[in-house]
Structure 1
Amino acid sequence: MEGLKRRLEAEIEIRVAGGDAFHEILMSRPHHISNVHPEFVQDCELHEGSFGKQGSKISWRYTLDGKACIAKQILELIDEENKMIRFNVIEGDLLKEYKYFVITFQVIAKDEEKCLVKWLFEYEKLHPGVPEPTTLMDAEIRLTKEIDEHHHSQAE
């Protein structure tokens, strides 16, 4: 069913230094995210490989819409030059409703003071009644803002 394959994109503007910090924390120190936004992410555990290395397997414990969730991902792509990272979800709650779920984020320089963080979800619904993952996207946008604020409060 070709009509069940989807893409959902969002962009958020943050401060340039926050963009560098955001890319670095998601790539090399994702286990620190629970310190920054514990309402969303409670734990990040390395299962295989090393943080920041392509092919590593990471599991997340997070809360979405008041429900405790898990996701296990493979860090599929790291593009340092374009500050892009892609995770492929291989186990967990998302795969109860989606055949596959790939999360990509990229930090894009806008000018000397601002940059964009772009989130992209690529997924295939198991059936037409599955909702679009907008609450997860909203949570990722909030996480981006929290990391930006956290970085700047630590720098002051």
Structure 2
Amino acid sequence: MSLKRKLEGEIEIREGASDAFYDIYKSKPHLVSHASSHFVQSCDLHHGDFGTPGAILSWNYTLDGKAGVCKTEIEKVDDENRLVRQKVIGGDLMDDYKSLVFTCHVVPKDKETSIVRWIFEYEKVRPGVPEPSAMMDSVLAAAKDIDDRHHGIKK
């Protein structure tokens, strides 16, 4: 029985924030905590350089009221298509998933908006493990938080 799955989600952000969002997620992920501290408390570089394949990042986050740690390795950066792909290589998420890959893609929609599209590809360790929908909701909300912060909207 295959427990491999894919979950996709997207959210609109203002076009003026799309480059800023991509730059923060790709090259300055430690700044995510400034806009979305209720979700991401910190992101530290453990190996390599921010924004380059092979870089290893450690994320401290809160999901459903529980503190967690996630270690990721950047697999792919495509500046032309504004896409970053990270593979989870350690942390709490590995308790439930054999493999988990996050792909973030920023796509222009029209003159005023862009779409932040997230794709999670994962394999559960056993039946009954919940879908990572809470994580999806949180990364989408963080994109909106970065958009709002970029435009000076305080929450």
TM-score for both structures, normalised by structure 2: 0.96
Trace 1:76-155 onto structure 2 (pairs within 5 A): 76-153=75-152
Cα distance in 2 for partners of 1:129, 1:54 equals 33
Deviation at 1:48, TM superposition (A): 0.3
Secondary structure of residue in 1 paired with 2:7: strand
Q: Per-residue displacement from partner, 1:105-129 (whole Å, max 9, x unpaired)?
A: 1000111111111000000011111
Deviation at 1:34, TM superposition (A): 1.1
The residue number in structure 2 matching 1:74 is 73
The residue number in structure 2 matching 1:19 is 18
Count of aligned residue pairs for this structure pair: 153
Deviation at 1:36, TM superposition (A): 1.1
2:135 alignment partner AA: L
1:54 alignment partner AA: P
The residue number in structure 2 matching 1:32 is 31
Q: What's the Cα RMSD here?
A: 0.9
Gaps of at least 5 residues in structure 2 are none
Secondary structure of residue in 1 paired with 2:10: strand
Percent of pairs with identical residues: 50
Q: Per-residue displacement from partner, 1:76-124 (whole Å, max 9, x unpaired)?
A: 1000110000000000011100000000010001111111110000000
2:127 alignment partner AA: P
Cα distance in 2 for partners of 1:21, 1:75 equals 19
- Greater helix share, structure number: 1
Secondary structure of residue in 1 paired with 2:49: coil
Cα distance in 2 for partners of 1:8, 1:20 equals 24
Cα distance in 1 for partners of 2:90, 2:16 equals 33
The residue number in structure 2 matching 1:8 is 7
Deviation at 1:33, TM superposition (A): 1.0
The residue number in structure 2 matching 1:62 is 61
Secondary structure of residue in 2 paired with 1:123: strand
Secondary structure of residue in 2 paired with 1:137: helix
Deviation at 1:47, TM superposition (A): 0.3
Secondary structure of residue in 2 paired with 1:25: helix
Trace 1:41-56 onto structure 2 (pairs within 5 A): 41-56=40-55
TM-score for both structures, normalised by structure 1: 0.96
2:54 alignment partner AA: G
